[in-house]
Structure 1
Amino acid sequence: MTSTVSKGFWPQGKKCAAIVSVIFDDGLDAVAQAPDLRGRSKSFSVWQYGATRGVERLCNAFADAGISTSWFVPGIVAENHEELLRDVVSPSHEIESHGWNFERCDAMPATEGVDLLKRSRERLNAIASNEVSGFRLPAGNWPRRFDRLLVEAGYAWSASLNGDDVPYSHASSLVEIPVHNELEDRPYFQFNFTPAFPKGQSRIPSYEAVLGNWIAEFDAYRKYGLCYVIQLRPEWTGTPGRIVLVEALLAHITSFDDVWLATAADVARWHAGKGTIAPSDHPINVYEAYVDEERAGER
């Protein structure tokens, strides 16, 4: 495998791809770690800020930059914030699935998981301007052969795993768009005193340093012709000061005319059209072979 894609790899003669995505959990991620949080208005308001102010600020930043984005939303959040999400919906923005209620798919029977995946997709389709085809794992580990369950539930692609810098296809044909922690806002900015998120309370770095990281990563992805995926959350980067970081990052990305700035669904459809499956030495296949070998040794 090579760390640099060949010339002509991307459509339209572009040098690399870039996807701007938003994860809108409305606090479900925090409640999953501290179930009593809903009854603690002061603490829970940290996450409610996303719906109250952050979503609007992100949408305004995207409109000013003239870009299309991909929003990952749990089905229950779509029910609770239908009007807000309808304001987000437009030909420029797609809404994709982030599960139903921040469930762990690795902690439930496959049939139950498929039912929830279908339920989420159906609920989101009721308000989305696009046909919901993508998924991002809400929590837990990627269940073995989970790609097949996603295909069964009607999904065509996922943006959940980390083991590459360009899209690849699972054996089931499900397209995977790799994501990385350093290109999320939460590892930098999530902070709450009680309960302690993160444990140890060491977070919230210099804003300039975070922007520098994101731009340095983008410049490297562009240099090597890869697929850059920034992941934003309205409660963390939708504040008055941090939205400036988003605006500066988007200004940097859009200053290059050789970048394919697309939605995740656009990238997935393009990759699926190539009809290529990940080779045997790809991390996803190496992992599957390793698990098969381990299980065979236990018999």
Structure 2
Amino acid sequence: MDEIQWPEGKKCAVMFSFDLDGDTTWENGNRGLPNGEQYIKSLSVGQYGPKRCADRILDKLDQYGVKATFFIPGLTAERYPEVVKRIAAAGHEIGLHGYAHERFAGKTAEEQIEIIEKPQRILRELIGHDVEGFRTPSGDWAVETPKLLYERGIRYSSSMRGDDRPYRTVIDGRETDFIEIPTKWEVDDYVAMAYHMYPAEPAGQDRISCYRNVEDNFMREFEGHYRYGLCISFMSHPQVIGSPGRIRILDHLLQHITSKKDVWIATGSQIADWYREHSGSDYSKTQEVG
């Protein structure tokens, strides 16, 4: 396996990322339930993220001097503009995450273009510039999605699962500068600790994982990526990782990882830019998407 040469001889790369979904995911889920528009409690779970948890996370990142990437739906940005401004003012990166946390899979090209361009306009108005990164909401995209993103100035994605290194995306049979920074379910706080009733998450209920075990899983994944010189993208959600108890998981991760002086902690754009400039252009470092 080819080793990636990280900046200044660093051993591995780490990206801390947060999906600031707000109440969009619960609104989407509630639409499939009888009288779902009346389920206010479920919406409050998502609202907890921008209302309380985002600032708690910002304080923790500031404590350790770490810059992160926040993927934000356009609708959440419209509802919580001051939170978005605080994130940007603190020097963190902001990326696209759809408009209302829609699944790109199954949508027409025209529909996808709208939910790429609309949130870009919203975020540009709030923070004064276009954003360069993207994470697909709800875990999947259509075959043509990378092409539509790339044509509209998006330079990287952190959406897929098929590698533990960045790679160049092949679009229409041609290798491009559209960089993918894969993440993993194993370092996603939502799949381990999210819980709500309407709609049921998880579907069978009866799961909020032991925080100690989740932290241990995250630490083990980091140590593995560190050992092999890879790139790990922690994918968190403020309403989950930002609670008073679970913020300790983030604290311990930051404390441990920042203590290692040979680890490069960077935003998505920084990692994508480095890889684009310093990687080769052979198909062992690419993946075809359409």
Shared fold (TM-score, shorter chain, > 0.5): yes
1:44 to partner: Cα distance: 2.1
Aligned residue in 1 for 2:92: 93
Residue of structure 2 in register with 1:42 after alignment: 41
2:103 equivalent to 1:107: no
Task: Map 1:1-299; keep pairs closer than 5 Å.
Answer: 2=1, 5-6=2-3, 9-35=5-31, 37-90=36-89, 92-128=91-127, 131-139=130-138, 141-171=140-170, 172-274=176-278, 276-277=280-281, 279=283, 284-285=287-288
Deviates more, 1:166-175 or 1:254-263: 166-175
The amino acid of 1:265's aligned partner reads S
Post-superposition offset of 1:122 = 2.1
Residue 277 of structure 1, CA deviation? 3.9
State the AA in 2 paired with 1:244: R
The runs of 4+ residues in structure 1 deviating greater than 4 Å are none
Q: Structure 2 vs 1, CA of residues 106 and 126 (structure 1 numbering), >3 Å: closer, same or farther?
A: same
Counterpart residue type for residue 157 of structure 1 = Y
Deviation at 1:270, TM superposition (A): 0.9
1:280: Cα distance to partner?
Answer: 6.0
What is the deviation of 1:92? Answer: 2.4
2:232 alignment partner, SS class: strand
> Within 2, Cα distance between the matches of 1:278 and 1:166?
14
Counterpart code for 2:236: L
Contact 1:69 1:263 in 2 (8 A): yes
Distance 1:207 1:139 in 2: 23
Tell me if the contact between 2:160 and 2:181 (Cα under 8 Å) persists in the aligned partners: yes
Displacement of 1:234 after TM fit?
1.0
Q: Are the counterparts in 2 of residues 167 and 271 from structure 1 also a CA contact under 8 Å?
A: yes
Q: What is the aligned length?
A: 282
Structure 1 letter corresponding to 2:203: K
The CA deviation at 1:135 is: 0.5
Deviates more, 1:123-132 or 1:45-54: 123-132
Distance 1:38 1:237 in 2: 26
CA contact (8 A) 1:38 1:44 kept: no
The amino acid across from 1:132 in the alignment is V
- Name the CA shift for 1:62/1:130 in 2 (closer, same or farther; >3 Å): farther
Using the alignment, how far apart are the partners of 2:279 and 2:60 within structure 1?
35
CA distance in 1, matches of 2:103, 2:212: 35
**What is the CA–CA distance in structure 2 between the aligned matches of 1:101 and 1:45, rounded to whole Å?**
16
For the residues of structure 2 that align with 1:32 and 1:270, how far apart are their CA atoms?
Answer: 36
Q: CA deviation at 1:111?
A: 2.4
Distance 1:17 1:158 in 2: 16
Of the structure 1 ranges 139-148 and 73-82, higher mean CA displacement relative to structure 2 is found in 139-148
SS for the counterpart of 2:66 is coil
Map Cα deviations across residues 139-158 of structure 1 (whole Å, 9 max, x no partner).
Answer: 36321132211111221110
The alignment partner of 2:127 has SS state of coil
Kindly tell me: are residues 85 and 156 of structure 1, through their superposed partners in 2, closer, same or farther at Cα, counting changes over 3 Å? same
The DSSP-based 3-state class of the residue aligned with 1:268 is: helix
Q: What SS does the corresponding residue of 1:175 show, helix, strand or coil? A: strand
**CA distance in structure 2 between the aligned counterparts of 1:266 and 1:38, rounded to whole angstroms:** 40
Cα displacement (A) at 1:108 = 2.0
- Is the contact between residue 94 and residue 129 of structure 1 (CA under 8 Å) also seen in structure 2? no
CA distance in 2, matches of 1:227, 1:59: 23
Where 1:173 maps in the other structure, the secondary structure is strand
Secondary structure of 2:126's counterpart equals coil
Deviates more, 1:214-223 or 1:114-123: 114-123
What is the CA–CA distance in structure 2 between the aligned matches of 1:265 and 1:66, rounded to whole Å? 17
Task: Please list the CA deviations of residues 25-74 of structure 1 after superposition, one character each: whole Å capped at 9, or x if unmatched.
Answer: 11212222222555222232222111221111111111111110100001
Relative to the length of structure 1, the TM-score reads 0.88
In the aligned structure 2, how far is the partner of 1:28 from the partner of 1:179? Answer: 22
CA RMSD of superposed structures (Å): 1.9
